Structure 1
Amino acid sequence: MKAIITVVGGDKVGIIAKVSAYLAKHSINIADITQTILSGNFVMMMMVDFDNADTDIDTARKELTEESKSLGIEINVMNEKVFSAMHRI
Structure 2
Amino acid sequence: MNKVIITVLGKDMVGIIAKICTHLAEKHINILDINQTIVRDLFHMMMIVDISTADESLEELTAAMNRIGEEMGLRIHVQREEIFEAMHRI
> TM-score when scaled to structure 1?
0.96
Shift of 1:38: 2.1
Q: Is 1:73 the equivalent of 2:74?
A: yes
Shift of 1:40: 1.6
CA distance in 1, matches of 2:40, 2:9: 12
The answer for the alignment partner of 1:31 in structure 2 is 32
CA distance in 2, matches of 1:39, 1:83: 27
CA distance in 1, matches of 2:46, 2:86: 17
The answer for the alignment partner of 2:44 in structure 1 is 43
Q: Deviations over 1:32-76 (max 9, x none)?
A: 000001232000000000111111111100111011111011111
CA distance in 1, matches of 2:75, 2:22: 17
CA distance in 1, matches of 2:57, 2:84: 17
CA distance in 2, matches of 1:29, 1:71: 22
CA distance in 2, matches of 1:38, 1:2: 27
Task: Give the number of aligned pairs.
Answer: 89
CA distance in 1, matches of 2:38, 2:81: 24
Which 4+ runs in 1 deviate beyond 3 A?
A: none
Task: Specify every segment of 5 or more residues in structure 1 that has no aligned partner in the other structure, as ranges.
Answer: none
Identity %: 46
Q: Is 1:62 the equivalent of 2:63?
A: yes
